[in-house]
Chains A and B, each alone.
Chain A
Amino acid sequence: MNFDYTEEQTLLDNMVTSFVRDNYDWDTRCNIVKSEEGWKEENWKQFAELGLLGVPFEEAYGGLGGKSADLMIVMEQFGKGLVVEPYLPTVILAGGLISKLGSEEQKNSIIPQIISGNIRCAFAYAEPQSRFDLNDVKTSAVLNGDDYVLNGFKSVVFGAGMASHLIISARTEGEQRSDSGITLFIVDTKSEGLTLQNYPTIDEYRASEVIIENLKVSKDNVLGKVNMAYDAIEEIVDISTIAACSEAVGILQVLKDSTTEYCKNRKQFGQSIAKNQVIQHRLVDMMIEYEQAKSILYMAVTADLSDSDERRRAVSAAKARIGKAIKFVGESAIQLHGGMGVVDEYMVSHYFKRATMIGVLFGNTDYHMKRYMTLTQSGIKSSDEAISVSVT
């Protein structure tokens, strides 16, 4: 049992840490998020040069063959720097689906392009009525000759505006909320029939509403098997959820540390406000929440993710618990910063906003709590043996 990084992981950690330190100081980041594009292509090129874009992909396609622990390292450091480039949507989410479901031809044509930084992809799955349910798909795809014709609407698609390709989930069969009958399509974002309405998010990332009207997609661009995409979507969203949790843990560390520093320096009534026990205990509780969040992330990262039940249970446990930590650490950070906490100019509010939106991403605390309960409840057996409870 150990929680140490391997030599390669330490190198990776150092590399991403230096990238953030050297390229992502606060002013630089402010300029990036204010720009028309909302990201910096130069940074993306550097990700490619550093090999970051290949972390989770198989070596056969030019990747590094990394696992969840490696993605955790990248995302945690990105969290610390509030890096806005669409790494999660492209590499982990869309990239994950292509790796999982793609034909040899699709993988050979797309994955090396992602790794080299030439293209970015995004995954359009959520719909206005679906909330967090991945199986709730109204967007339809009907086969007409050699093409599918898609119609529908996709909500809050992160990174779509920077992507050359979208992966779209659509219903080819079955009821609106049926697991079976969902198919994935790879589509060029410039395709006729596809309209992107791009906008910034409250935490300064970029997302799009995607309007799909009589979009023709060749049968060759189906990703995976027709009607059978649901399990893979759930799995890759789970893996992406761990990545989002990792980003959150990085953010929580910054919130905890910067709030502690702020309280040491801020003087009122002639002394540092950190001299007040009520402040000290709040800071300690922030630290405890951070440590608990990090611990449950480690639980998820070291779980056997190839076992789908264990994966679901671990992911939902982590997301629900980290969601709780996000709320406590985030709100406490703002409260303890006082007036400085609520202004746009000071960085703490930006970390708080990003952490809060990660709380929503891929399902909020209640959603994952419910999923966790559904999963663990099946393991409960009623017992007719006499039992006595002792916790001492």
Chain B
Amino acid sequence: MDTAFSNEDLKFQSEIRDFIKTNYPQELRDSINSKRKLGKELSREDLTAWHKILGKHNGWSAPSWPKQYGGAEFTPTQKYIFEQECAKAECQYIMPFGINMVGPVIYTFGNEEQKAQHLPGILSGEVFWCQGYSEPGSGSDLASLKTSAVKEGDHYIVNGQKTWTTMAQYADWIFCLVRTNPDAEKPQQGISFLLIDMKTPGVTVRPIKLMDGSHEVNETWFDNVKVPVENLIGQENMGWTYAKFLLAHERSGIAGVARSKKAIERIKQIASSEMSYGEPLIQDPAFKAKIAAAELELSALEYTELRTLAKDSAGKGPGPESSLLKIKGTDIQQAVTELAMEAVGYYANPHLGTTLSNEYVGPDYATNLSGTYFNFRKASIYGGSNEIQRNIIAKMVLGL
């Protein structure tokens, strides 16, 4: 048992640190900070600028991808270090849809043409992807999805509606689960995995506003959308297999340990400035106890993630245990967003960045903390709700 970094690891760590210091653009940091302070939405450029910089450097935009596809192929320890350093420096996180989701599906199940067409754009950050899984009637019961793809000559004709499509407003492409065989014995057997160009006629994106006022997610409608058959990944009606593969990948990155650590550090700073009973809030026994509880949980989760990574490096891919990381990771994110909101007392109230007010009020650090708390209720729902994750563990790990 050994968790100390080797000399190579330490060298790697300082390499990452130096790279971020030299290459993370100050204007990006300023742009994102000023928008956050005013509760404004981030632009496509804000979301992809850092991705594009990493994409030009040894495949660092894709830490897990094999070298043969242009990725960095980091070891588990390197991945851990990389995430830590990016979180510490508060780098904008890389959108997961291309790098963590469809990319691995394409290089694992796609053909040579698909790899050549799509992987470079995902890697470089030039092409923006979104995910077409959920439908209004298909949330946790994803396999009940209805969006249909009917083959006509060398095209599929796609009709239906996807929902919760995150950042579809910026997306160039969407990867979709579509029903190609409505008569299959089991609903899982009639599903295919299709890549669709968002510029195709018949694709319509409509915003869904979340309770914090943010626009992250959308409805995406397909009205007789013609999709070339070359855009089918793998075999027809085998999409469910690829979808499950993707979900396991999605979950493994979802713990967000490094970012929660950073968030707790920030809360401590805020609570050192905020006063309660004439003393810094950080001295308040009740508040202090909540911070400590979050820290302990996070410390345990960090080692759970390290144990999973170590297993991963022994060649055992992310299994159903990654559901545990999703459950605990999002529990902690929610606890932490709540603590941050709680820390600022009355200044949880102002809702900035709406059309009603563009004025900046309260301490800088207080802006939008309540918005983030409200926004993060999503975390225990998305990516397979935490109840669904428990079902997965019950079935796959405990054998119930």
Contacts and interface: CB of A to CB of B under 8 A. Distances in A.
Contact of A389 (B256, B324, B372, B400): B372
Contacts of A180: none
A321 B292 CA distance: 10
A386 interface: yes
Given A260-B398, A317-B299, A389-B372, A376 B292 contact: yes
Interface stretch (B106-114, B170-178, B262-270): B262-270
B400 A390 contact: no
A369 B365 CA distance: 28
Interface string A371-384: 01100110011111
Contacts of B90: 390
Q: How large is the interface on A (under 10, 10 to 19, 20 to 34, 35 or more residues)?
A: 35 or more
B355 to A, nearest CB: 22
Contact of A317 (B33, B282, B296, B337): B296
Nearest to A299: B303
A295 B304 CA distance: 5
A383 B272 contact: yes
Interface in B347-400: 363-365, 367, 369, 372, 376, 387, 390-391, 393-394, 397-400
A296 interface: yes
Interface stretch (B10-18, B62-70, B227-235, B305-313): B305-313
Interface in A353-392: 369, 372-373, 376-377, 380-384, 386-392
A284 B5 CA distance: 32
A387 B307 contact: no
A292 B336 CA distance: 18
B297 interface: yes
Given A1-B306, A392-B93, A283 B398 contact: yes
A36 to B, nearest CB: 40
Contact of B393 (A287, A376, A387, A392): A287
A24 to B, nearest CB: 25
B328 A274 contact: no
Interface string B205-224: 00000000000000000000
Interface string B277-295: 0001010000011001101
A388 B1 contact: no
Contacts of A296: 296, 299-300, 303
Contact of A387 (B77, B364, B376): B364
A5 B1 contact: yes
A2 B376 CA distance: 33
A4 B300 contact: no
Given A284-B393, A376-B292, A391-B376, A295 B2 contact: no
Nearest to B293: A369
Contact of A260 (B309, B310, B400): B400
B296 A2 contact: no
B149 to A, nearest CB: 33
Contacts of B327: 288
A387 B300 contact: no
B333 interface: yes
Contact of A293 (B292, B300, B369, B376): B300
Given A1-B77, A373-B289, A388 B36 contact: yes
A163 interface: no
Contacts of B303: 295-296, 298-299
Contacts of B301: 292, 295
A168 interface: no
Given A280-B394, A295-B300, A298-B307, A388 B292 contact: no
Contact of B324 (A69, A288, A386, A388): A288
A211 to B, nearest CB: 37
Contacts of B296: 296, 317, 320-321, 324, 369, 372
Contact of A321 (B5, B37, B300): B300
A302 interface: yes
Nearest to A272: B400
Interface string A267-296: 000000011010011011101100111011
Contacts of A280: 390-391, 394, 398, 400
Interface string B323-340: 010011000010011001
Contacts of B80: 1
B3 A388 contact: no
B83 interface: no
A264 B302 CA distance: 31
A319 B109 CA distance: 46
A384 B270 CA distance: 9
Contacts of B33: 388
A4 B314 CA distance: 10
A74 to B, nearest CB: 14
A301 interface: yes
A219 to B, nearest CB: 42
Interface string B52-96: 000000000000000000000000110010000000001001000
B211 to A, nearest CB: 16
Contacts of B4: 302
B269 A3 contact: no
Contact of A2 (B2, B262, B304, B391): B2
A-B pairs with the 5 shortest C-beta distances?
A: A295-B303, A382-B272, A386-B364, A280-B394, A292-B300
Given A281-B390, A296-B300, A369-B292, 12 more contacts: A1-B5, A292-B328, A296-B303, A317-B296, A321-B296, A321-B299, A372-B296, A373-B289, A380-B282, A386-B364, A391-B263, A392-B372
6 contacts: A291-B304, A295-B306, A320-B296, A324-B296, A391-B256, A391-B336
Interface of B: 1-5, 9, 33, 36-37, 76-77, 80, 90, 93, 256, 259-260, 262-263, 266-270, 272-273, 280, 282, 288-289, 292-293, 295-297, 299-304, 306-307, 309-310, 324, 327-328, 333, 336-337, 340, 363-365, 367, 369, 372, 376, 387, 390-391, 393-394, 397-400
